[in-house]
Amino acid sequence: MSAVSSQYLSIVFFGTHVLSSIWQEINGQITVIAKSSLVNVKDDQTLAQSVDTSLEELGDETLNLKQVLFVVPYSWTRKGNLNDESKKILKNLSAELVLEPIGYVIYQDGLITWQEQQYTGSFSGLIVQHQPEKLEATLVINSEIEQTFSIGKSDQPINDIEELLARVEKHKISFQKIIFFDTSPTDNQYDQVVAILKNRSQKNVELISAQQLAEIVIISGGGEVLGIADNQMLLDHNNHNSQSSPNNNPDNNSGDFRPASFLKTQTSNFEQSSQKDAVSKPPIEKSHLDELKSHPDQDTVINTETRANDQSRKKFSLKLSLPKFSNFNLAAKFKPNFKLGKFSSGKKSKIALLLGAVTILLILGTGSLYWLLKTSYQANIQIVIEPEQLSTTTQLNLTVNQDSPAEAAETIPANEINESITVSREVATTGTKLTGDPAKGEVIIYNKTSEPATFSQGTEISTGDHVFTLDEEVTVASASAREERNSRTIVYGEQTAKVTAAEFGPDGNLPEKQEFAVDDYGSSSFTATNDKAFEGGSSREIQAVAEKDITDTVSSLLEEAEGQLQEILSSKGNQASPVIITDQYKIEDQQTSVAVGQEAKFVNVVLTVSGKAYQLKIDDLIDRAETILADEIPVSYNLIADQLEVSDSKLISSPEESPRLETKISVPAEPQLDINELKNQVASEFISRGQTLLERKPGVKSVSIALSPSWSKFILQKLPADPVKINIEISK
C-alpha cells in the first residue's frame, strides 16, 4: 500500500530489549527524527507493554502515527521470510497497539548494506551483539551471511571472547573487521570487551550503539520498503487483507510481512535467490524531538472504533470535545419571527422559538454538567514501593590491640587466632630410572716417549663414543732402543691396566683388539689396546621418585590442610562474632620418605601447615554501615540498618602491613516519597502519562489510578488540576 503520511514509526527488537523511533521521508530522503532509549522487556510485562513504554518516551507525536516498520534479527527469519513464531509475535503486537505494519528489515542486512556503501565493495566481517545472557555473532563473507551462533556468558569475558573467535578461526583470514554493539547496558563486567576483541582477534573493531544501529538500518531499509510498488506487505491486521485485490495472488503470501528488497539470506544453510538492490544511503542527520510535526490539537476526537480494545496503546484514550460557543451562531440556525414587544401569531415561529430555547438550555445544561464534573471529580492513586537492596564491597582496617581510643574509632576491633595442622599421604611413584652395571676389562698402555709416565686413577681412555677410566694408578716405562748388527729397533714401554666403562650398559662390552686414546695425548705418545673383550656391561629400568610426585602431593596436602584449618577456625565464631579467615597459609615443615630420583615404589609426604584468622563483632560493622554506604544511598532513601548482611569477607594483608578486611555489605533502603510533591507533578496530566511519571519514581513497583465517580473516566482523560482532589496512598 502507498504511504499516507511522510512520517512513520519503527520498532527494533534486540532480544531482551526494544527501541522505538520516528522517521520521515521527504523528497526521497529518509531521516530519523527521534529515538527512544533501550527499554528492557521485563518478565512481569508483555512485549506490547514494553514497546508502549518506548513509544511514550517519544511523546504524544506517536499518537498520530500508525504505520510502522519492524526491524528484526536474522534469527527471526527462515529462507528469507519471517518464521511462524515471529509472524505471530508481530501480528499480536500490531493488534494490541493499533499499528499498521509496512514491512520489516533484518538489521544484519542493514549493517551489510551500510558497510558496502561506506567502502564501495562487498563486506566480510563479524557482527557481534552483546546481550545480558550471551554474545550473538553473525559471520558475513562477501556480503553473504555464512554462519550465526551464540556464546553463553561466563564470569570471564576473556574466555568468552576466545571461545567466540575460536568458532570462526577457519574464516579468520576471510574477514577484515568486527562490528560490535551493546544491548546489555547494565553489564559492567563487559566494559572492556571491545579492547579484548581487538587484542585477541588482531582485527579492526568498530563500536556502534544500539541507537546508531537502528538509524543505520532504518535509513538503509526504510526507502526500500516505501519504494516497493506492490506494497501489499502488511500484516493481516483485523482481516484488512482478506478482501480481494489486484495484487493478491497465491504467490504473494497475503497476510505476511514482506522484507525490504535488499534482504540477503543466501547462506550455507538456507538458499535464497532474491537479489540485493542498490540503496543510496542519505546522510544520517541528528535526531531532534523538536523537529517533529506540530502536536495534534488536544480537542480532536479520537476514533473510538480502533481504540476501544483495552489492550490498545495506553496513549489512545477516549476523548470527547465540547462545542465551542464562539462558533455556535443561533441567529443563523434559528430565526424566530418576533419583534421587540410583539410576538408573531404564526405556528412555525412559536415552534422555532421553543426549539431555540430548548437548544440553549441543553447547551447550558451540558456545559454546566461538564464544568461541575471537572471541578468535583477526584483521583485515587495507589502506589506500591519496593525497597532497593544496596551493596558495596569495602576495605576496613582491623586493629588487633586497641592501644588508643582514636585508633579504635577509625578501625574495626579484632582478635587474632592462629592454628596449625599436620597432614600426610603416601603415594605411588611415577618416575622411572635406568640403572645397571658398567663393562670392565684390561688394556695394555703403550708409552712411545723417552720418559716413563704415570697415569692416575680415573684417567680416561676412549675409542669412538665409548669412554673408560683406570681403576687404579698405573706407571708405564719409557720406550727403549734395541740395536742389532744392521738395525735399530724401538721397544715401547708397556703396562697392563684394569679399566671400567664410564657409563653402565651393554654398549661398553667391546670386542678385543680395540685401539684406545689415552687421556688427551696423541697416538704418537701413548696408545692402548685390549687383548680380550670387555664384559659385564648391562642396564635395566627401575621405578623411582619423580619431582612431580612430590610437588603434586604437596599441593593436594596443602589444599586438604587449608580446608581442615577453615573448619577449625570457623568453629570458633558465631553470628554475633564471626571469624574472618585469611588466605595466609604457611607450610611450616615438609618431609619425604624417599628423595627424588631414588628407587622406590611409594613415597610418603608429611606436611605441617599453619593458618590465621581474625574474630570481630558484627555490631561494629552495623555502626559503620551508613558511612560505608554513603555513596550508594539514592537521594531520599533511608537505610533499614537492622537488616544489614555481611558476606564474601576476606583478609587482605601481608606480614608487613596491618590487617585489612575486604567484605561485601548489603542493606535494604526505602524510598521516601513526598506525597504533596507527587500530587503537584501529576495534576492536569493525562491518566496514562501520570501513571508513567509515578512508575518511573525510584523504588515504585506499581501504580494504579481510579477516578471518582468511576464513570467519569469515559469523559475525562486527565487527572484533576487541583492537587487537593488527588489522593495518594503509599504501601510496601
In this structure, are 134 and 272 located in the same domain?
Answer: no
Residue with the larger pLDDT of the pair 349 and 597:
597
- pLDDT single digits (tens) 186-223: 766 666 778 888 888 888 888 888 889 999 998 877 77
Q: How far apart are CA 629 and CA 393, in angstroms?
A: 9
- In terms of residues, how long is the chain? 732
Query: Which CATH number fits the domain that encloses residue 484?
Result: 2.40.30
Q: Contact 669/386 with Cβ under 8 angstroms?
A: no
Through-space distance between the first and last CA atoms of the chain, rounded to whole angstroms: 51
Domain range for residue 273? 7-106+215-291
Query: Is 651 domain-assigned?
Result: no
Closest CA to 72 of 213, 252, 241: 213
Indicate if 230 and 92 belong to the same structural domain. Answer: yes
Place of cell 556503501: 117
User: Where does a domain end: 150, 185, 208?
Assistant: 208
534 in the same domain as 455: yes
Rounded to whole angstroms, how far apart are CA atoms 456 and 475?
9
Q: What are the strands, taking DSSP E only, across 197-337?
A: 204-208
Residue 62 three-state SS: helix
- Asked whether residue 198 falls in the same domain as residue 259, the answer is no
With H, G, I as helix, E, B as strand and everything else as coil, classify residue 291: helix
Structure confidence at residue 626 as a pLDDT band (50, 70, 90): confident
Which of 508, 523, 540 is the last residue before a domain boundary? 540
Of the candidates 145, 15, 13, the one whose C-alpha atom is nearest the C-alpha of residue 80 is 145
Mean pLDDT of 106-115: 89
Total number of domains in the chain? 6
**Per-residue pLDDT, 190:** 65
Do residues 369 and 382 share a domain? Answer: no
Residue 148 in any domain: the answer is yes
Residues 535 and 556 both lie in one domain: no
* pLDDT in the model for residue 667: 84
Grid cell listed for 639 = 537505610
- Tell me which amino acid residue 563 is: G
> What is the rounded distance in angstroms from the CA atom of residue 445 to the CA atom of residue 527?
6
Between CA 446 and CA 451, with CA 449 as vertex, the angle to 5 degrees is: 105
Is the pLDDT score of 99 beyond 80? yes
Q: What is the longest distance spanned by two Cα atoms in the chain?
A: 195
Please state, in angstroms and as integers, the Cα–Cα distance from residue 130 to each residue in 183, 324, 444, following that order: 6, 55, 84
Judgement on whether residues 446 and 528 belong to the same structural domain of the protein: yes
- Region 508-526: mean pLDDT is 93
Residue 99 in any domain: the answer is yes
- Of 217, 281, 261, 257, nearest to 21 by C-alpha is 217
Q: How far apart are CA 561 and CA 490, in angstroms?
A: 79
Q: Provide the pLDDT for residue 374.
A: 67
- Does residue 165 contact residue 201 with C-beta atoms inside 8 Å? yes
Please compute the mean of the pLDDT values over residues 547-575 and round it to a whole number: 89
680: left (phi over 0), alpha (psi -120 to 50) or beta: alpha
Whether residue 549 lies inside any domain: the answer is: yes
Q: What is the DSSP letter of 2?
A: -
Asked if the model's pLDDT at residue 37 lies above 70, the reply is: yes
Burial readout 219-252 (b: 16 or more C-beta within 10 A, e: otherwise): bbbbbbbbebeebbbbbbbeeebeeeeeeeeeee
In this structure, are 76 and 15 located in the same domain? yes
Rounded to whole angstroms, how far apart are CA atoms 615 and 571? 11
Does residue 130 sit in the same domain as residue 63?
no
In this predicted structure, the answer to whether residue 339 has a pLDDT above a threshold of 90 is no
Q: In whole angstroms, what is the distance from residue 426 CA to residue 224 CA?
A: 76
* 98-102, 256-260, 347-351, 728-732: range with lowest mean pLDDT: 256-260
- For 319, the 3-state DSSP assignment is coil
Query: What value does the mean pLDDT take over residues 506-524?
Result: 93
Exposure string over 94-116, b if 16+ CB within 10 A, otherwise e: bbbbbbbbbbbbbbbbbbbbbbb
**CATH number reported for the structural domain that contains residue 200 in this entry:** 3.30.420.40
CA-angle at 717, arms to 711 and 719, nearest 5°: 95
Does 230 score more than 50 pLDDT? Answer: no
**How far is it, in rounded angstroms, from Cα 271 to Cα 195?**
36
Neighbours of 129 (CB within 10 A): 23
Between CA 287 and CA 34 the distance in angstroms is 5
261 found inside a domain: yes
Asked whether residue 414 is assigned to any structural domain, the reply reads no
The values of phi and psi at residue 184, to 5°, are -130, 70
DSSP letter assigned to residue 133 = S
Torsional class of 13: left (φ above 0), alpha (ψ -120 to 50), beta (otherwise) = beta
Within this chain, do residues 12 and 102 fall inside the same structural domain, yes or no? yes
Residue with cell 553473504: 144
Q: Are residues 244 and 95 part of one domain?
A: yes
**Residue 58 contacts by C-beta under 8 Å, 6 or more apart in sequence?**
20, 21, 22, 34, 35, 36, 289
| 579's grid cell | 571469624
Instruction: For residue 485, give the 3-state DSSP assignment.
Output: coil
Q: Tell me: pLDDT of 458 over 90.
A: yes
- Checking if the pLDDT of 245 tops 70, the result is no
Q: What is the pTM of this model?
A: 0.37
Task: Please tell me whether residues 278 and 230 are part of one structural domain.
Answer: yes
What amino acid occupies position 2?
A: S
Provide the residue type at 82 as one letter. L
CA–CA separation, 336 and 328 (whole Å): 16
C-alpha cell at 526: 701413548
Q: Domain boundary at 566, 593, 615, which?
A: 615
- Contact between 539 and 436 (Cβ < 8 Å): yes
Whether the CB-CB separation of 68 and 226 falls below 8 Å is answered with: no
pLDDT in tens, 663-713: 888 888 888 888 898 889 888 888 888 888 888 888 888 999 988 887 776
Helix/strand/coil (H/E/C) assignment for every residue in 174-194: HCCEEEEEECCCCCHHHCCHH
Cα 415 to Cα 399: distance, rounded to the nearest angstrom? 8
Is 564 within a domain? yes
Would you state the cell numbers that stand for residue 137, as one nine-digit string? 555473532
- Domain membership of residue 649 (yes or no) is no
What's the CA gap between 690 and 678, in Å, rounded? Answer: 10
Question: Residues with Cβ < 8 Å from 550, sequence gap 6 or more?
Answer: 592, 596, 603, 605
The three three-digit cell numbers of residue 105, written as one number: 528489515
